Structure 1
Amino acid sequence: MFKIDTSKRTDESEIMDDFDLQGEELGRTLNDLDNINSWLGGNKITIKGVEKLLQKGSPKNTISIADIGCGNGAILRKLADWGRKNGYNLELVGIDANTHAIAIGEDLSAEYSEISFRSLNIFSEEFRKLEFDIILCTLTLHHFKDLEIINLLKQLYVQSNKGVIINDLHRSSTAYILFKAFCGVFVDNEIARKDGLISILRGFKKADLNRYKEQILAKNHSIRWKWAFRYQWIIEKEPNNL
């Protein structure tokens, strides 16, 4: 029987890591990945995290939220709808190094005046100078190696006023098998299938997240397992840092 080794994070690259991917193929793949994320309840995890960080504030204040590695901006549009429904004044910024993904996001978000996009490398000095109330890292963290993750989270914590919300994959053989079966029935996009499986193997066990946590100078961490095989990690700024 085929054994799936999830003891360590894989170094295998995803097709979507290639920033030269563009046009109809990129648009269709981003759309399919967003549909999978929505079907499996991934968007709710991020939105619930935002609700938690905003529960002590006033909806009257303008809240700036950035999503790094935003792709086509799907979660930003979900947040915009949520903000409108709940009376929040949001400024939503999608940040991605792939200019082709940014162009798709701008086109899909044309009816959302509260959403803007910037094509930036999140390790660049230009990005480091930016500041937001909340920074989202939705299915982005697993693209990086451990040291990059630690350095990035330290940086994002400094750049945020209220906190950082990570929503990423649980590395699990069960998740791998179930996702493969799910794709066999519901997903006909080869890139989405292949990258989805690699993403799981690049994902995290709770011990990984706890190890990263120890390297970040923050007291308020909440790491919770969520269906379907996700971790929600909220790094909240201490009151005296707000």
Structure 2
Amino acid sequence: MIQFSSTYRSEEKEIMDDLTFHGPEMEQLLVDLSKVNRFLGGNRITLNGLGYLMKERMGKPTTSIVDVGCGDGETLRRCYFWGKRNNYEFNLMGLDANIHIIKEAEERSEGIKNINFKAVNVLDEKEPIPKHDIAVFSLFLHHFPEKEIEQILSRVWAQCSTGIIINDLHRSVWAFNLFRIFSAFFVKTKTARHDGLVSVARGFRRHELEKLASGLEGSHRIKWKWAFRYQWIIKK
């Protein structure tokens, strides 16, 4: 039974946190996650943040974007097509600690220009973060406790020239119950149903994000977005 608290972030692990997770269950889980993002508008939040930060890059010929915890690369593919529609030239790099997911991302992104993937554990100080203009964290930071979030953001910030876009979950009983209902009809895998509920329980209240922001450099903007998400933008 997955425990939910409005007061505290859950410490329960997701099945996807196992870096050896692979095979047909992983492949279908990634399809389920894409479906949830599409139906509940999650990608729009990231693209909205990208539009906000691109105002800082007017006149720049190219922009490098790193997606930290990229999963199957869907966010980067959405960024690529958004860039094409808006006449931006992007160099896209996805980072994920699970080599099996990286291989899946490469397959699903085949034929897309200027998109690459690399297996990197961002908590490992020995593994370098590539220099970039904009970093994206989409449904990634909730996997970690606060100390590790601070460590990850500090490492990425040091290699970033323009800003960071964070798109993550609002920990709310309404969101918890909404996902339970949604997943009963539209999510195929038990893993995705389990991990989705754990993700909400590990999500954030606004004051928790504000506390994290207070210890970091940059200019911070935190906004609530439908469906039960927070958009947190950190600008140089």
With the length of structure 1 as denominator, give the TM-score of the two structures.
0.93
Q: Which amino acid aligns with 1:44?
A: R
Map residues 82-161 of structure 1 onto 2, 5 A cutoff. 82-161=82-161
| 1:5 corresponding residue in structure 2 | 5
Tell me the secondary structure at the aligned position of residue 28 of structure 1.
helix
Query: Is the alpha carbon distance of 1:140 and 1:129 closer, same or farther for their aligned partners in structure 2, counting shifts above 3 Å?
Result: closer
| 1:233 corresponding residue in structure 2 | 232
Q: Does the 8 Å contact 2:129/2:155 carry over to 1?
A: no
Offset at residue 129 of structure 1 (A): 4.8
Offset at residue 79 of structure 1 (A): 0.7
Q: Does the 8 Å contact 1:128/1:159 carry over to 2?
A: no
| 2:70 corresponding residue in structure 1 | 70
| 1:240 corresponding residue in structure 2 | none
Root mean square deviation, CA, Å: 1.6
| 1:48 corresponding residue in structure 2 | 48
Identity, % of aligned positions: 42
Distance 1:41 1:78 in 2: 12
| 2:33 corresponding residue in structure 1 | 33
Offset at residue 57 of structure 1 (A): 2.2
Q: After the TM superposition, which of the residue ranges 129-138 and 207-216 deviates more from structure 2?
A: 129-138
Offset at residue 127 of structure 1 (A): 4.2
Q: After the TM superposition, which of the residue ranges 149-158 and 74-83 deviates more from structure 2?
A: 149-158
Q: Does the 8 Å contact 2:223/2:230 carry over to 1?
A: yes
Distance 1:188 1:166 in 2: 27
Query: Is the alpha carbon distance of 1:31 and 1:129 closer, same or farther for their aligned partners in structure 2, counting shifts above 3 Å?
Result: closer
Q: After the TM superposition, which of the residue ranges 89-98 and 30-39 deviates more from structure 2?
A: 30-39
> Where do 4+ consecutive residues of structure 1 move more than 3 Å?
125-129
Query: Is 1:18–2:12 an aligned residue pair?
Result: no
Q: Does the 8 Å contact 2:4/2:201 carry over to 1?
A: no
Structure 2: stretches of 5+ with no match in the other structure: none
Q: Does the 8 Å contact 2:133/2:163 carry over to 1?
A: yes
Q: Which amino acid aligns with 1:77?
A: R
Distance 2:197 2:233 in 1: 25
Report the count of equivalent residues. Answer: 235
Tell me the secondary structure at the aligned position of residue 6 of structure 1.
coil
Q: Does the 8 Å contact 1:70/1:95 carry over to 2?
A: yes
Distance 2:66 2:103 in 1: 17
Q: Does the 8 Å contact 1:65/1:90 carry over to 2?
A: yes
Structure 1: stretches of 5+ with no match in the other structure: 238-242
Map residues 164-175 of structure 1 onto 2, 5 A cutoff. 164-175=164-175
| 1:179 corresponding residue in structure 2 | 179
Q: Which amino acid aligns with 1:152?
A: I
Distance 2:81 2:20 in 1: 31
Q: Does the 8 Å contact 1:60/1:89 carry over to 2?
A: no
Q: After the TM superposition, which of the residue ranges 180-189 and 56-65 deviates more from structure 2?
A: 56-65
Distance 2:209 2:59 in 1: 31
